[in-house]
Structure 1
Amino acid sequence: MKSLLILFPIIMPFVLAVLLNVLKFNNKKSREIYITCCIIFNFILTVYTMHLDIDMKLEILKMNEFINICLKIDKLGVLFSILASTLWIFTTFYSIEYMDHEKNEKRFFTFFILTLGVTIGIAFSANLVTLYIFYEMLTLATFPLVIHAESKDSFKSGKKYLIYSFGGATFVLLGMILLYNINPDLSFTAGGILNDSVNGNEKMILIIYILMFLGFGVKAAVVPFHSWLPAAMVAPTPVSSLLHAVAVVKSGIFSIVRVSYFIFGAQVMRSVNAHIYASVFVVVTILMGSFLAIHHDNLKKRLAYSTISQLGYIILGVIMLNENALIGGILHLVNHALIKIILFFCAGAIYTKKHIKNISDMKGIGKEMPITMWCFSIACISLIGIPPTNGFVSKWYLALGGLNANKMMFPIILLVSAFLTSIYLLPIIVTAFFEKNNNIEIQNNDPGIKMLFPIISITVIVVLLGIFPNVVVNFVEKIVVELI
């Protein structure tokens, strides 16, 4: 009976989302309190479930070896679910104030809560089929958020998002069917499940891995399947934050980690050279994302292309197939989520208070919105990888991983990308603080406490995790030691 508790963090957001539309709220404030309590309650429920038993498992439906819906909690799932649940709380506070100037708030928060349940489902999936089901549900749950504005551009972006997402899912499904013919057990097992199935199947295993890598890589914005992500910037900023920091792109990364180390395993990937083929896509993703970011004046678009490049860092850590690299990759999954959500929160605050979208219009805004822009600046410094921020820690491990793999090219690419990151981020800080603007108001124009609290809180976390990284590093090392 205890194992049934694993369902609650997944099902409760669905129940609470329905109740949001059923219950009669006396006023807007009571509805906001309900939404906040829902997200916090689900966080507590998630933590409590994992505290009871980190290896809890529940088989929901098993028709055969392929159609087997099963949930399980493990250390990687714990890390991802805690990251998502925590950032969802901050995003909730932020969204309540931000969405005041948007329409259809109830619909927005309905799918906002639903998406949390689906994301926890991805974290707790025990096999490839269960992961695939929640992965598809994630597309359906986030689509209404992408088209929230109901404008021509939003519908166009939503259409592209569906085409890319379902196209990637088709690759994954094809890979799953081919994999099932080689090994009927698709359960996630640390170290992989294919060690006894390689001989005579090398080419097929390589094809299956590339299919799954590219399929899950669509949501991870791997080039050339990246263009849906900048297009989705027409969505409200809280949606952009979720897309770039937690729900969608990190689910793609999380799935690539699952496939690489819980289905194929490092030994099998080396034997079929899967990591070599994948590295071509990753290197192009890192460099192209950085180059494209430089040329965009629109702040959210620049941050979107930055995300593409930074996601390449994480995947690079995954495919280098050594401990330091994987530690760096998983660390950057966490660190990038924290950093990028700050950057998007700040971009949203600037738009809400000043209706500014372009970097060229941000002259002197650092004097008018000092707290917002100082937090933005700290996040930029961390994304570049300057100590003592958390971004430096993960990139240090990634560079060590490249040296451990005897691939000098990878640390060099990381350095080049860090230089490019400084080129597209530092001018924003210079424009905000040092360029003169006679129209800037003297009084403080930072957003209200509901938006400012998440920005400041996560900025403090970014700095603390740079100074005291072992809080996360030690847990990540426990994950990695089981995989390599």
Structure 2
Amino acid sequence: MSNAFVLFPVLFPVIAAIIAAFFKLEKAKWRNIFAISVVIINFIALIYILNVEKSGSFHLWTINRFLDIYFKIDELSIFFSLLAGTLWIFTTYYAIEYMKHEGREKIFFIFFVFTLGITMGIAFSGNLFTLYIFYELLTLATFPLVIHSGTKEALDSGKKYLIYSFGGATLVLLGMILLFNINSNMDFAAQGVLSAAALQRPQWISVIYVLMFLGFGVKAAVVPFHAWLPGAMVAPTPVSSLLHAVAVVKSGIFAIIRVTYFVFGAEMIRATHDHIYLSILIVITILLGSLLALNQGNLKKRLAYSTISQLGYILLGVVLLNENALMGAMLHLLNHAVIKITLFFCVGAICFTTGKKNISDIKGIGKKMPITMWCFSIAAISLVGIPPTNGSVSKWYLALGGLNANKILFVVILLVSAFLTAAYLLPIIITAFFPGEESAEYQQKTEPPLKMLIPIVMLTAIVVILGVFPNFILNYVEKMVRAVI
């Protein structure tokens, strides 16, 4: 097979979205067929290409060493693309029903499918320039989804999202230009690509790495660049789910992993000691996200601040620069994605069925929506890190990574954050199942439609399966980690 086939998962959703824009698609039947067909065909093609190729590269357009749109298949791109492709299918199926009460379904599904192609472009980027291009396109593709409702609140949140995202991208671009001046190779390769000449200028390397970390860290919601994320909760639940599970925040994490281990390399980062300074910022992110989540009465906003904290876990694993820590980071990238999309789906189901958005309004809802709330409870327990769910596996490796780095304080912080996670999630479960006074409103069982309930139940099952049988993922991640450290 030609290496050019790596372009299919990137271009097919983009082209399909552009073509769909020229058709009316007024009937829900055709919109639904369009959306589900594109994501499933793209996933099947992705599986086929990755199974046949497993490695390979393709230069789409080259002017010079800097301006080079280059795609490459490696173990990290396979990991991220499969995660995105899988969760996109669940979200599409969920959104088909959910978007009926949001309206403007056609424009939603056009940009929803378009964003899938852009995310695949990030996954298969073979160098910094290509990653930057798709990283910028991701902002433009997701902006219409954030402001979907068209309200003043949505427009204000969208404006904030653009300002933060483009501000971060500016830092990345500055870092890229400075890097190119001292190192002409910006392709991704395990253990980094810095030349001997570049290694003679450690001060510049330190500045460049921090610029890129902070720039990509905007989408990863690193404090103090996190404010856009809770505001983006004004978007429909399927959008919030993808923003917090894969499309945006995990793209920021993915980019930081690429820069750290595939451009600079772990040894160079250790030499500059940048990881020590950045870890302080990450610890603040973990604790502040958890503390802010405690004060949120709105369900989606509580989950949004929770995301900020959990992303800090992943970044901490990245900057500890040892095998166990990076394994924990990669596992939590996957596990958090599955957990958080499940939690958002459950919250969306509550809103869809009852119209309730605040924790104080859902007293006794566990009797009305038992399946939904049991799924929420299992996902919440996993986020805390209680065995045998998948969250416990990734947090175990993160703790081991902290011990391997002789950073006992980081292990303590992870434990404190776990208690805080329990403190902001368990009250939701208690409110739902132990209301105190019986509410007549919630006596009759009314679960969301099956198109929403089935993805919730299936994702909850995945949460448990990944915790009970983690070896397959562990083996893959271990192989990937050993190649870069």
**2:474 matched to which residue of 1?**
473
Q: Distance in 2 between matches of 1:70 and 1:367?
A: 53
Note the alpha carbon deviations across 1:421-456, whole angstroms, 9 max, x for none.
Answer: 000000000000001342333222110110001100
Give the match's secondary structure for 1:59: strand
Q: Distance in 2 between matches of 1:432 and 1:159?
A: 35
Moved more, 192-201 or 153-162: 192-201
> Is the counterpart of residue 123 in structure 1 residue 123 in structure 2?
yes
Moved more, 247-256 or 11-20: 11-20
**1:234 matched to which residue of 2?**
234
Normalized against structure 1, the TM-score is what? 0.99
**2:448 matched to which residue of 1?**
447
Note the alpha carbon deviations across 1:169-227, whole angstroms, 9 max, x for none.
Answer: 00000000000011011000100012624543111111101000000000000000000
1:305-344 equivalences under 5 Å are 305-344=305-344
CA contact (8 A) 1:206 1:272 kept: yes
Q: Distance in 1 between matches of 2:40 and 2:241?
A: 18
Q: Distance in 2 between matches of 1:208 and 1:34?
A: 43
**2:222 matched to which residue of 1?**
222
CA contact (8 A) 1:218 1:252 kept: yes
CA contact (8 A) 2:4 2:58 kept: yes
Give the match's secondary structure for 1:71: strand
**1:66 matched to which residue of 2?**
66
Give the match's secondary structure for 1:187: coil
Cα gap change, 1:471 to 1:199, in 2 (>3 Å)? closer
1:20-169 equivalences under 5 Å are 20-23=20-23, 25=25, 27-169=27-169
Note the alpha carbon deviations across 1:266-322, whole angstroms, 9 max, x for none.
Answer: 000000001111101100000000000000100000000000000000000000000
Give the match's secondary structure for 2:13: helix
Number of positions where the alignment pairs a residue of Structure 1 with one of Structure 2 = 484
Task: Give the residue type in structure 2 aligned to 1:471.
Answer: F
Please, which runs of 5 or more residues in structure 2 have no aligned partner?
none
Please, which runs of 5 or more residues in structure 1 have no aligned partner?
none
Note the alpha carbon deviations across 1:362-387, whole angstroms, 9 max, x for none.
Answer: 10000000000000000000000000
**2:188 matched to which residue of 1?**
188
Deviation at 1:470, TM superposition (A): 0.8
Q: Distance in 1 between matches of 2:15 and 2:98?
A: 25
**1:460 matched to which residue of 2?**
461
Give the match's secondary structure for 1:164: helix
CA contact (8 A) 2:127 2:188 kept: yes
Normalized against structure 2, the TM-score is what? 0.98
Note the alpha carbon deviations across 1:5-43, whole angstroms, 9 max, x for none.
Answer: 111111100121123233455832232122111110000
Moved more, 271-280 or 170-179: 271-280
Give the match's secondary structure for 2:278: helix
Q: Distance in 2 between matches of 1:320 and 1:20?
A: 45
> Is the counterpart of residue 173 in structure 1 residue 173 in structure 2?
yes
Task: Give the residue type in structure 2 aligned to 1:405.
Answer: A
Note the alpha carbon deviations across 1:311-363, whole angstroms, 9 max, x for none.
Answer: 00000000000000000000000000000000000010000111101001110
Task: Give the residue type in structure 2 aligned to 1:132.
Answer: Y
**2:205 matched to which residue of 1?**
205
Note the alpha carbon deviations across 1:60-99, whole angstroms, 9 max, x for none.
Answer: 1111111111000100000000000000000001000000
1:281-300 equivalences under 5 Å are 281-300=281-300
Q: CA RMSD in A?
A: 1.1
Deviation at 1:418, TM superposition (A): 0.1
Task: Give the residue type in structure 1 aligned to 2:275.
Answer: H
Q: Distance in 2 between matches of 1:25 and 1:356?
A: 31
Q: Distance in 2 between matches of 1:374 and 1:29?
A: 31
CA contact (8 A) 1:36 1:89 kept: yes
CA contact (8 A) 1:198 1:268 kept: no
Q: Distance in 1 between matches of 2:76 and 2:383?
A: 23
Cα gap change, 1:25 to 1:175, in 2 (>3 Å)? closer
Q: Distance in 2 between matches of 1:469 and 1:272?
A: 35
Task: Give the residue type in structure 1 aligned to 2:209.
Answer: Y
